[in-house]
Amino acid sequence: MELTPALREELEADVVTLCQELIRIPSVNFGEGKGDEEAAAQYVVAKLQEVGIPSKIFESAPKRCSVVAELEGTDPALPGLVVHGHLDVVPANAADWSVDPFSGLLKDGCIWGRGAVDMKNMDAMILAVFRLWARHGFKPKRKIVIVFFGDEEAGGIFGSRWMAANHPELFAGCSEAVSEVGGFSLTLSTGKRIYAIETAEKGIEWMKLTATGLAGHGSMINKENAVTRLADAISRIGNHKWPQRMTKTNEALLRAVGEITGHKYDPENLTPILNELGSISRMLGATLTNTANPSMLEAGYKANVIPQSASAVVDGRTIPGFEKELLETVKELAGEHVKVESLVSDIPLEVEFKGPLVEKMIDAIKAEDPEGIPVPYLMSGGTDNKALAKLGIAGYGFSPLKLPPELDFLSLFHGVDERVPVDSLKFGARSLHHFLVHA
The 10 Å Cβ neighbour count of residue 138 is 15
For residue 410, what pLDDT is reported?
83
pLDDT of residue 344: 84
350-384 confidence digits (pLDDT tens): 999 999 999 999 999 999 999 999 999 999 988 99
Stretch among 193-197, 283-287, 327-331, 396-400 having the lowest mean pLDDT: 283-287
> What pLDDT shows up at residue 282?
79
pLDDT at 190 over 90: no
Is residue 254 very low, low, confident or very high in pLDDT (cuts 50, 70, 90)? very high
* pLDDT score, position 172: 97
**pLDDT over 90 (residue 162):** yes
**Does the pLDDT value for residue 279 go beyond 80?**
no
pTM over 0.85: yes
Among the CATH numbers 3.40.30.10, 3.30.70.360, 3.40.50.10490, 3.40.50.300, which is that of 203-345? 3.30.70.360
Per-residue confidence band for 411, with pLDDT thresholds at 50, 70 and 90: confident
Parallel, antiparallel or unpaired: strands 80-86 and 174-179: parallel
Lowest mean pLDDT of 41-55, 158-172, 180-194, name the range. Answer: 180-194
**According to the model, what pLDDT value does residue 237 have?**
98
Please say if the pLDDT value at position 269 is more than 80. yes
Residues 6+ apart with CB under 8 A from 246: 267, 288
pLDDT at 338 (0 to 100): 97
pLDDT digits (tens, 9 = 90+) for 202-245: 999 999 999 999 999 999 999 999 999 999 999 999 999 999 99
| Domain-wise residue ranges, the chain | 5-181+383-438, 203-345
% of the chain surpassing 70 pLDDT:
100
**CA–CA separation, 205 vs 313, rounded Å?**
10
Same fold flag, 5-181+383-438 and 203-345: no
DSSP string of 318-366, one letter each residue: E-TT-HHHHHHHHHHHH-TTEEEEEEEEE--EE--S-SHHHHHHHHHHH
Q: pLDDT (tens digit, 9 = 90+) per residue, 71-119?
A: 999 999 999 999 999 999 999 999 999 999 999 999 999 999 999 999 9
Per-residue pLDDT band for 284 (boundaries 50, 70, 90) equals confident
What confidence score (pLDDT) does residue 155 get?
86
- Phi, psi dihedrals of residue 181, rounded to the nearest 5°: 55, 55
Average pLDDT of the chain to the nearest whole number = 95
CATH number of 5-181+383-438: 3.40.630.10
In this structure, are residues 113 and 90 in contact, taking their beta carbons and an 8 Å threshold?
Answer: no
The C-alpha atoms of residue 406 and residue 393 are separated, in whole angstroms, by: 36
Closest Cα partner for 430 from 354, 369, 377, 356?
Answer: 369
DSSP label at 134?
H
